[in-house]
Amino acid sequence: MAENIALNLEQSFGELNDCVVVTDRNRKILFVNKALEDLLKVSRDDLIGTTTENFFADKSKFEELGELYNSPNEQRHRKAYSFDMITGEGDLIPVEVVSAPLFDADHQLTGILFFARDQSERIALETRAKDIAQTLEDALEAISEGFAIYDTEDKLVICNDNYREIYAPSAPAMYPGNDFEAILRYGLERDQYDTGSLSKEEWLANRLDHHKSADGSVIEQSLSDGRWLRISETKTRNGGTAGIRADITEMKTAKAQAESAYRDLSLIADIISCSITEVDLDGRCVFINKKGCEWFDGTLEELVGTRLRERLSWKEREQVRHCFQKSYGGQRASEEICFHFPDGITRECQFESNPRYDEAGNVCGLVVMIVDITDKKKTERTLAELYAITSTNELCYEDKIAEILRLGCEHLDLPCGIISHVIDDHYSVTHAHCLGSELEPGMTFPLADTYCTLTLQADRPLATTHASQSEFSKHPCYQAFKLETYIGAPLLVDGEVYGTINFNAPERRKRPFTAADIQITRQFADWVGHEIARDRDHNALMQAKVNLERIASVDDLTGILNRRAFLEAANKEIQRFRRSKRPFTAVMIDIDNFKLINDRNGHSVGDEVLEKFTSIIGSALRTVDVFGRVGGEEFCMILHNTSMEEAMLVSERLREKIVNECQFDDIEQTITCSMGLAVVVREDVEFSTLMQRADMALYNAKSTGRNKCVEYSSGLDVIFAD
């Protein structure tokens, strides 16, 4: 009866990936499956009849599970228990356990069925995910504006502290998983927003419409404390929404002062890092601040009296014309426009034109403000794309590294991005994204000949946009390659210097690097370092797994399957036979009088015989056949899809091959072998029964003269019974 129960349990749970253990009401183990045996690294025979107390790192957890036996109920068994288990080798493994009570016909508890799952990989993945999330959070904190990402269901994924500070009254509602509308309503209830002439619901509807479109257009938002915000939102690749909030109160204040007190315009305009101009009704410049003079590449005297828009391309003039017409009609006009300025720099700008009135209330000109939002827009796009790259499962390690380099080149407007590995004084390129360059991974240079030696010495990011006019001009790298533009950061892997990430160009970069560029380069380095470390860990784990699997399955001396691995393969053949009905034959093999070989010649010679014997047999078998060492000089092979007649022919051929090829000059006796053959039958549920029949035939071969192949027959059962 117990054997039938064990067999049923084995058929039900034996091959499950999750660990299964069945205990009686006294907590004695009745059954464990192979998964638990592998996890604990203890054989089933050693576990059956014992309790699992020795495998609990915290004995109180063992006592806690005892409540399942003392007062079983459904509520307790629905609970998942987490604790650390100690393997037979002393290792700690985190597991999660759920249980199900077993009752007899009288609903009396007879035992408990436990399912256990190894949580090591999940915990490791959660740790890695946490590291990546922390890296992204660090990148966000480097941005001076408020930044937030919402997922496809409009729930908050992440935001930086600046975002919370901008909307301080709403900060308690800004937690991951809360949706955008709920956060807005939280702020509305606390009068955070200046809704103007709109009701709260009308204001909310307008704000949600713009948020859902997320087309990159810009809106301004007035807060009840008098601050103004510039809001820009775009869709991420996975359908979420990334948004950036900038406090433009200062700009709004400056605009108001310019409109109400023109005589103070020059003083105010020159301290603001944007272009401020005034034009008359004919479009001619009557005032331009210092920043405007720089962008339009002229002096105040050269530019006043000219039509500045004529210095722009026809397409940009058309965009400006639309705003001018609106403002000449008495309305403020605002547009995001990409300008190719006369100073040779392309800038993404927030263009605003405001009507200027004379004493009679008529429009007499326009005051134009052009704010450079290139860095903000780039940062917004880069962070959104960085989030998509780091969070996707579609890209492998190499692809993610390549995407980071491409993204860095695009963000910094540089043609070449490089990841290097520095060993001693050697600088090796491991990854490169270089347009129009012959630089390729694998190239090696003396470290001293690269700008990266300065970066590593400084132990921080370094940058230059005009190397020939800086200390970089004295460096050998400038002398050899004439690189005018460079930005790089040290690359650390597991806290150790691995190399650098850098972006460069032979031409001078027209725009200076900003603090945000430095911080984003640093974050690129941190993320790449984490990814290299994770790839190293993964490769080491895979190699260790391969080595362990080989050690666990291969016989050290002969190089063929050991007993455990052979029996695993053999039982799979039994299961395959029960599904496909394709026959196979098991052949037990024993080297005749092997003990005499060891006694007369020594064990080292015996080992040579075993090695040569298995080499001869193994080389003669097909790849589909299974061959293993099941004892000292005992072997077993499974001849796939082979009847008894075919198997006998193969066995006789192998036996003769041993007689002809497995002889040694130093061994007097002739080395022979005996074989016992048995064909699988429908009643074979496990390989052990088939192996037993083949073993009977082998015994008969040895007892009737050796050096022969004997087929199992039912008559042998009678002989062994006697």
385-419 residues labelled b (16+ CB within 10 A) or e (exposed): bbbbbbbeeeeeeeebbbbbbebbbebbbbbbbbb
Q: Is the dihedral of CA 635, 641, 646, 650 positive or negative?
A: negative
Distance CA 484, CA 30 (A): 75
Q: Provide the 10 A C-beta neighbour count for residue 375.
A: 20
Q: Which of 301, 633, 645, 683 is catalytic?
A: 633
Please name every residue paired with 586 in a beta bridge, in sequence order, or none if there are none.
638, 678
Q: Which of 716, 713, 692 shows the shortest CA–CA distance to 703?
A: 716
Gyration radius of the chain's alpha carbons:
39
CA dist 478 and 469 (Å) reads 11
**What's phi and psi for 8, nearest 5 deg?**
-65, -40
Residue where the block lists tokens 């087929």 = 711
The Cα 484–Cα 482 span in angstroms is 6
Question: Of how many residues is the chain composed?
Answer: 722
The amino acid sitting at 528 is V
- CA-CA distance, 297 to 510, in Å (whole number)? 13
Q: State both tokens at 21.
A: 């253990």
Helix H or strand E encompassing 45: helix 44-47
Cα(138)–Cα(524) distance, integer angstroms: 11
- Is 633 designated active site? yes
C-beta separation of 443 from 435 below 8 A: no
Question: Can you say whether residue 302 is alpha, beta or left, with left for phi > 0 and alpha for psi between -120 and 50 degrees?
Answer: alpha
Assess contact for 588 and 676: CB atoms under 8 A: yes
> What is the distance between the alpha carbons of residues 212 and 209, in angstroms, rounded to a whole number?
5
Q: How many CB atoms lie within 10 A of CB 89?
A: 8
Tokens (6 digits) for 62: 């063992």
Residue with tokens 């970066």: 455
Which ranges in 214-303 belong to alpha helices (H)? Answer: 249-260, 265-270, 290-295, 300-303
Q: How far apart are CA 303 and CA 189, in angstroms?
A: 51
Q: Is beta strand 426-434 parallel, antiparallel or unpaired with respect to 444-446?
A: antiparallel
Q: Quick one: how far is CA 83 from the chain centroid?
A: 26
Alpha carbon distance 339, 297 (integer Å): 14
Q: Residue 406: name the closest of 384, 383, 434 by CA.
A: 434
SS (H, E, C) 84-148: EEECCCCCEEEEEEEEEEEECCCCCEEEEEEEEEECHHHHHHHHHHHHHHHHHHHHHHCCCCEEE
Which positions are annotated as active-site residues? 633
